[in-house]
Structure formats: structure tokens, C-alpha cells
Amino acid sequence: MKKFIGLFLLILITGCANKMKPTDFKDQKPRLVIENYLSGNVKAWGVLQNRSGKVTRQFKADLNGKWDGSKLILDEVFNWKDGERQTRQWKINKIDEHNYEGTASDVVGTAKGYSYGPAFKFEYVLLVPVKGKNIKITFDDWIFMQDERIAINRATMTKFGIKVAELTVMFVKD
């Protein structure tokens, strides 16, 4: 029991460490305006790693976004190396200069987005199919703009506050 309590306290302490915040990037360049970057065609390549860092899956994706002045409709098509094909359509509303809200059919509730400088943070719960069931996985998703064409995405996936996987994606705008 003491070991369990010690492990719980260690997880609690490390989970409460000084985490990166979107405002940490407010004065940096280039500025990532997500509705501009994701409008039109964007190609992506990514790897999924389990909690120990082993690459478990890889994919290539095509993204196509349309901005209407207040909402970004983003269609995503993922072609996984193992042959699986997934699609998702995001509807992302711009609330103000720094805040966004998004929905998709496999997102539980509303995603919250924050944009400062070259960084965009997206927080949401995704229904992930595992062995014929959908499980709720929390995504802490960060996109970092490198230049006008290249962005890098890093997402940490957790269940009950414990990291279960990480996703790394490179985006290239056509």
C-alpha cells in the first residue's frame, strides 16, 4: 500500500509541474493563424508511439480547409501504413484573436484551442476505437509553425491522467 501511495504522489507531483502554456509563445514569430495555415491543401506525415516510446503506427494524411470568416471546416483523411483509412471533419470557430472552439463527430464535447505566436494548443477528448470499442482519450495537442509552409505537431494522449501514447506529425502546406 505504501508503494501505491508513493507512486500516486509521484504522478501527482510530476503532473502538477510547471507545464508549458500557450502564452509562453506570445511574442515569438512567425505567427500561426490556424485558419490561414489550414485553409487549402496541407499534407501530413505522422508516427504514433506508445507510452514507452515505441513507434506503433505511421500514417500519411491529406487535409483540406475552408475558412468562411468565422469558421474553419477542416476535412482530414488519414491513410495508416497498416491499410486503415480514417476521416474526420473539424468545425473550428474563432472566438477571438487567441481562442477557438472545435467539434468533430468523434470528439466528446467541445475542443478548446489557444493561439499565441507560432503555437496553437488544442485540448479535447477523442473517441478512439480499440478492439471494437470506443474509448475516451484526452489529447493535449500542440502545433508549432516553423515557417509559412512547415508546422510540427506534438500530441500527448492520456487516460485517467496517465500518458498512454504520443503523436508526432509534420505538416507541409501546398
pLDDT tens by residue, the chain, 174 residues: 555 555 444 444 445 556 899 999 998 999 999 999 999 999 999 999 999 999 999 999 999 999 999 999 999 999 999 999 999 999 999 999 999 999 999 999 999 999 999 999 999 999 998 888 999 999 999 999 999 999 999 999 999 999 999 999 999 998
- All structural domains of the chain with their residue ranges: 34-173
Q: Please tell me the number of Cα atoms within 13 Å of 77 on its side-chain side.
A: 6
Q: What is the CATH number of domain 34-173?
A: 2.40.128.20
Closest by CA position to 66, among listed 100, 91, 103? 91
Q: What is the pTM of this model?
A: 0.87
Bridge partners of residue 138, in order along the sequence:
125, 158
Number of helical (H) and strand (E) elements in the chain, helices listed first: 2, 10
Q: Are 98 and 116 in contact (CB under 8 A)?
A: yes
The one-letter amino acid code at 27 reads D
In 3-state terms, what secondary structure has residue 5?
helix
What is d(CA 91, CA 67) in angstroms, rounded to the nearest whole number?
A: 10
